[in-house]
Amino acid sequence: MGNKPQSAYELYLCEKPSQGRDIARILGANQRNDGYLQGDKLIVSWCIGHLLEMMPPDEYDAKYKRWSLAHLPILPQHWKMAPKKSTSRQLTVLKKLLKRCQSVVIATDADREGETIAREVLEYFNYKGASRRLWLSALDTVSVKRALENIRPSDETEPLYYSGLARGRADWLIGMNLTRAYTLLANDRQVRSVGRVQTPTLALIVKRDREISNFKAVPYYEILAYFKTNNEIEGELLETKWQPPKESGDEQKQCLDRRVAQAVIDRCQQQVGVVGTATTARKKQPPPLLYNLSALQQEASRRWGYGAQDVLNIAQALYETHKLTSYPRSDCEYLPLSQFNDVGHVLHALCKNDGRLTELIAQADKTLRSRVWNDKKITAHHGIIPTQATPGIARLNDKEFNIYNLVRRRYIAQFFADFEYDQSTIVVVIRSDQFKASGRIARVKGWKLALEAETAQSPSAMIDDSKKELPAVKKGEQLLCDNLKLLDKLTKPPRHYTEGTLIKAMETIGSQVSDKVMKKILRETAGLGTQATRANIIQTLFQRKFILQEKKLLKATPLGFNLIDAVPDTIKDPLLTAQWEQQLDDIANNKGQDINGFLKQQTDLLKTIVTQVKAPRFATKQAKTSNQYKAGDLCPECGNILETRNAVRGRRIGQTYIGCSNFPDCRFYFWP
């Protein structure tokens, strides 16, 4: 498109119509038009998510309509984008607006995806004008006005676009090529969808399922010993647990030999022990950090069984529709110091939205500055918090209220004192045997006051802050062992993943590294996918029928097991994929490897895998006899369905044979 603007208009390019209307209202752009709002020397318009999509292989070359191993790997030399049919009208609107405007303010969501949504449109129309970046953390009036006063140069966020391009192209390369490869290999009428992140995520579930399936319970033994004390309460005994020495137990300090446990009981019954340790220390626990998206998804899964995508949709509605919370796709749990001045306004808004909080917030100390106020910990976004908007909560449904309640109470908790408790430890020794008791007594509730109503909604979320108070004893005091109890136990298998625990595993995969070389390469914060994509990855696994859900538990299907057994480690290894995600993060932060280096890495990997796939495939294909093919199978040449056909010419006219349904593009056939 031309470089000379026809007017001095500036275009604010938003991600969604609702976002555009919010910004237009504050900018005074009230003149409604088809696909945009106009004001004085400015226009506000929007995308509708991605307006463009990457072209499929057959748009590069018609021969790719046939699925064939011979065509792999498919490696575009010049990447092509095409308008999405469902939103092509809005793309046409933007084309016309870009011709009218001399500058653009990118006002899409403040993340990699938002940056990509806007810039791919500008790139598609070869826009060469000036641009700036509006970085929004919330859509309430105060936040939007503040962001408008601090519009950034667009080159500050441009690396996010290159990261988005790298992610999209890498996903295309892996998905398009390996889905074809492993679908053709399987030849069982089931598409084997392979994804750069979805496949290693599936591998986590398959591995856990197999650990559970192969688990064999091992018996172990615990001993409870009860000691008489000089406590004024008659008959009260000190309950302790025997501490197995290393030689009598396993790595978890469990006693695996019943004879050893029985010997302890025999030698300690009615014996006098000496108190070796008797301590009580005051402990303090600061308020929990703010929620990021993953933590919010995990908590909602644990409390109510909400799915990850469901929580993301709810959080998005609270941000975008209700304006009650800040940007939801955050990976951060902290706040910038600059927002400390907003505390009074936010707490006032919370009371105005829900009068039931008035008494609680009256007890809050607005001058307290908890550990969440830390500029050094801020990433592209801050933690999820309530905004200063006051629309009330009447419009919220039950699920929206539950998520909103988590967010607001975690924020309120920052303005209460530390939770304080007394931690007591007693160790009684009988010769070489040690018996230990621990107790914790709440002394100052502090921030737990802010979470009491929240936890009361879910009995499973209750925290026992007052473990049994221990009787007063002194070091060196002698206590008679009144009786002992032998408990037969069995080791338990690991638990199946829920959506919440799977999100946690995806997020913290980097911390599970034991290999020293990989640990050095992989940051502790590296994970599978991002805050914004993990929910969608899980949904994709459901849609592809790789996993199913029984109650809240995720389990792999036979199709899921089959795929993981087929693909090489380089595709299903979560740690390697987390390393790729780390490289995408480096691109987004303009450090380390660039987009070309990253894509070359993916291309080299593809070439290696396809070479491995082809060799055994061709040998198997040549050895396969005709009676092993039947109607309904996938064609070994192109992947379409085989069908029974009648010969219409030649010496066998009228006879039936098995042929490809993609004829004449594919001419594979055989005679039964």
Kindly report the length of the chain.
Answer: 672
How far apart CA 383 and CA 388 sit, in angstroms, is: 15
Domain spans in the chain, listed from the N-terminal domain onward: 9-156, 167-214+496-619, 219-286+419-490, 293-415, 628-672
35: left (phi over 0), alpha (psi -120 to 50) or beta: left
User: Can you name the residues that pair with 384 across neighbouring β-strands?
Assistant: 291
How far apart CA 660 and CA 666 sit, in angstroms, is: 6
Q: What is the pLDDT of residue 137?
A: 83
User: Can you name the residues that pair with 549 across neighbouring β-strands?
Assistant: 554
Question: Does residue 327 have an active-site annotation?
Answer: yes
Look at strands 42-46 and 36-39 and give their pairing: antiparallel
Q: What is the mean pLDDT of the chain?
A: 89
How far apart CA 81 and CA 122 sit, in angstroms, is: 12
9-156 placed in CATH 3.40.50.620? no
Secondary structure of residue 636 in the 3-state scheme:
coil
- For the four alpha carbons of 516, 522, 526 and 528, in that order, the dihedral sign comes to negative
CB 73 within 8 A of CB 56: no
CB 296 within 8 A of CB 406: yes
Helix axes 499-507, 534-543, angle to 10 degrees: 130
Span 119-130, pLDDT tens digits: 999 999 999 999
Q: At residue 313, what is the residue type?
A: N
Span 551-581, pLDDT tens digits: 999 999 999 999 999 998 889 988 888 888 8
Phi, then psi, of 314 in degrees rounded to 5: -65, -45
Confidence of residue 659 (pLDDT cuts 50, 70, 90): confident
Closest among 301, 276, 633 to 475, alpha carbons compared: 276
521 pLDDT more than 80: no
152 pLDDT more than 80: yes
636 pLDDT more than 80: no
pLDDT (mean) for 517-544: 84
Q: Which CATH number fits domain 293-415: 2.60.40.350, 1.10.290.10, 3.30.70.1400, 3.40.50.150?
A: 1.10.290.10
- ∠ CA 523-525-527, nearest 5°, is 100
Tokens of 41: 């020397």
| Top-confidence range, 162-171, 608-617, 641-650 | 162-171
Choosing from 36, 306, 319, 327, the catalytic residue is 327
CB 103 within 8 A of CB 130: yes
Q: What is the pLDDT of residue 235?
A: 67
Look at strands 36-39 and 31-33 and give their pairing: antiparallel
Output 12 or 640, whichever has higher pLDDT: 12
Confidence of residue 624 (pLDDT cuts 50, 70, 90): very low
CATH C-level class of 167-214+496-619: mainly alpha
Output 496 or 578, whichever has higher pLDDT: 496
Tokens of 610: 């396809």
Q: Where are the beta strands (DSSP E) in 272-412?
A: 272-285
536 pLDDT more than 80: yes
Q: Considering the domain 219-286+419-490, what is its CATH architecture?
A: Distorted Sandwich (2.70)
pLDDT (mean) for 243-268: 84
Looking up tokens 């555009």 gives 20
Give the largest CA-CA distance in the chain: 107
How far apart CA 610 and CA 320 sit, in angstroms, is: 44
Global pTM reads: 0.83
CB-neighbour burial class of residue 126 (10 A; exposed 0-12, middle 13-18, buried 19+): exposed
617 pLDDT more than 50: no
Q: What is the pLDDT of residue 637?
A: 61
How far apart CA 15 and CA 13 sit, in angstroms, is: 7
Confidence of residue 140 (pLDDT cuts 50, 70, 90): confident
